[in-house]
Amino acid sequence: MIPYVEDFLTKDFSDGILEFTRTQPHVRPLTVPWGQPKRRLSFPGYGPVLEGFKHQASEYGESTDIDTAPPLYRELASRITEYAAATGMPSPINYLSTIGYLTDDRMKFHQHKEDLVMPEANQAVYVVSFGAVHPVAIRSGYTGPKRNGKKGTEFIPDGKDDYIIYPKHGSLYVLPGSFNRPGSGDEHEHAVLAGTDYSYGGLRIAVNCKCIPEDLTPEQHARATSRPAGGPGKTKKTGASSPSSPRVCWGKKADFPDAVYVGMKNSRGKFEYEYTPFGNFKKLNTTTVPTFREYAVDRMRNAEFRSYVEKLRGKDLLCPWCSPGEKDCHALVWLELANMPSKKNNLTGRCDKCRRRIGEDQGLCKSCESRSPSPVKSFVGRGYAAKRRKEALQDKRAAEEAAARRAETAAIVESIPEDERLAIAMTPPEQYHLIK
């Protein structure tokens, strides 16, 4: 059981911290790269600042030095420093990260891997709780190879030391540094579960406190003072397939304003991309270039669509989803097809039906025109439109069925008592048969 002090702070002091924090600006951060809101709030953070490096003691923004923190926060750091010194732990406390949880908010199981850059004794995290009670689950395990067969390692729960604590208003609990270290024999993950306590307006404030040593390298210092549960914010790299045009540009529209976006309509976070006819509408099972190229060439049998591709000739193409240098990026296919010599490609000069060369004109050759009572162009257009409508209807039905299944599953889960739900959530899949 981790160290837990229920009455670490007096009620008056705890009420003061909670009411002051309510008045502070806060944000609900977004996930990367999907731009979906996270299930927690971030308030201003305080920690040691190293010139030339960006520090985030919270996801609200860059942190400032502890000396600039409000008096209540400095007093809180002082009291935790006294507790750390009394228990033989490193001090002083010089890092405060404030996170808020509404009743339905939560944080999944995780470790503080950013703390591994510090000495073992400095990896302990002191968490002070204010306001409503949110259960904190602890589960033991070990670091092993990924179970899905991919490269790398992951935390694997073993069910040997699982329990829940209920941090009350003004309480303190300590997460030992050994919880994060692979091979320590005491590896654990922790999670903040959704609450059922509506006191204090259902708001729980958690202040994560650490002692950041002064002898870290600049890179270690930046890592150790990053926001908790995930480290520094991830940024997507940008790049281009060639230093000169035409080329494929990988990145945001703001990075390549003159490039033409060649994907489906998408809106993720603050970035919105309009519809284009060049997206991977087929939702192919594989994204390798040969398969997508066959799909693209088949679409170019439509004369109207070929005219759209021709408009891409000589222009930079934008793909904000693939990584720079991605060989399987579908934009590379459009770049190739749009810039092939007109006499050697399928863009112009061929019959829409038999593909026989007919010069620079578009449409049917005389032979196909005499045998075809209706224009192939309109026929192909109607065919593609019908396919699209059929696929859209199938996708809609699949989405409705998935929503119904999710609702049914949610109803079943809600009917299970909380202690049983937690037991299931904290049990590895291979041990489900042991649950009674």
* pLDDT tops 50 at residue 381: no
CA distance 213 to 225: 11
* Rounded (10°) CA dihedral 21, 23, 24, 28: 90
**Is it true that the peptide bond before 37 is cis, omega within 30 degrees of 0?**
no
Q: What is the average per-residue pLDDT within 47-72?
A: 70
So what's the pLDDT on residue 73? 92
- DSSP three-state, residue 7: coil
CA distance 356 to 288: 29
Q: Using pLDDT thresholds of 50, 70 and 90, give the confidence band for residue 290.
A: low
Which of 353-357, 359-363, 423-427 bottoms out in mean pLDDT, i.e. has the lowest? 359-363
So what's the pLDDT on residue 395? 84
Give me the DSSP letters along 90-139: -----EEEEEEE-TT--EEEE--GGGGGS-GGGG-EEEEEEES---EEEE
* Residue 230 tokens, joined: 């995930």
Q: Which helix (H) or strand (E) holds 12?
A: helix 11-22
- DSSP three-state, residue 433: helix
Q: How confident is the model over 188-207, as pLDDT tens digits?
A: 999 999 888 888 888 999 99
* pLDDT tops 80 at residue 387: no
Q: Using pLDDT thresholds of 50, 70 and 90, give the confidence band for residue 412.
A: confident
Cβ–Cβ < 8 Å for 241, 259: no
Highest mean pLDDT among 96-105, 132-141, 286-295, 300-309: 132-141
So what's the pLDDT on residue 378? 39
User: Phi, psi (5° rounding) for residue 239?
Assistant: 180, 180
* pLDDT tops 80 at residue 323: no
* pLDDT tops 80 at residue 135: yes
CA distance 367 to 390: 33
So what's the pLDDT on residue 356? 65
So what's the pLDDT on residue 393? 87
* pLDDT tops 90 at residue 275: no
Amino acid at 134: H
Q: What is the average per-residue pLDDT within 233-239?
A: 47
Q: Which helix (H) or strand (E) holds 387?
A: helix 376-414
Percent share of the chain, pLDDT over 70: 74
Stated length of the chain: 436
- DSSP three-state, residue 173: strand
Q: What is the average per-residue pLDDT within 222-248?
A: 58
238: Cα separation from own chain's centroid: 18
CA distance 210 to 99: 14
So what's the pLDDT on residue 374? 42
Fold (CATH) for 4-224: Jelly Rolls (2.60.120)
Q: Using pLDDT thresholds of 50, 70 and 90, give the confidence band for residue 217.
A: confident
Q: What is the average per-residue pLDDT within 319-328?
A: 77
* pLDDT tops 90 at residue 12: yes
The strand pairing partners of 240, in sequence order, are 249
So what's the pLDDT on residue 139? 94
Amino acid at 143: T
* Residue 305 tokens, joined: 């669509």
Q: How confident is the model over 17-27, as pLDDT tens digits?
A: 999 998 888 88
* pLDDT tops 60 at residue 75: yes
Q: What is the average per-residue pLDDT within 68-74?
A: 90
Q: Using pLDDT thresholds of 50, 70 and 90, give the confidence band for residue 423.
A: low
So what's the pLDDT on residue 358? 64
Q: How confident is the model over 105-129, as pLDDT tens digits?
A: 889 999 888 788 888 777 889 999 9
Cβ–Cβ < 8 Å for 284, 292: yes
Cβ–Cβ < 8 Å for 212, 48: yes
So what's the pLDDT on residue 304? 83
pTM of the predicted model, to two decimals?
Answer: 0.54
Q: Is 114 buried (19+), middle (13-18) or exposed (0-12) by CB count in 10 A?
A: buried
Q: What is the average per-residue pLDDT within 206-210?
A: 92
CA distance 82 to 9: 13
Structure letter (DSSP) for residue 195 = P
* Residue 223 tokens, joined: 């890592």
So what's the pLDDT on residue 302? 80
Higher pLDDT, residue 306 or 76? 76
* pLDDT tops 70 at residue 422: no
Highest mean pLDDT among 36-40, 142-146, 150-154, 168-172: 168-172
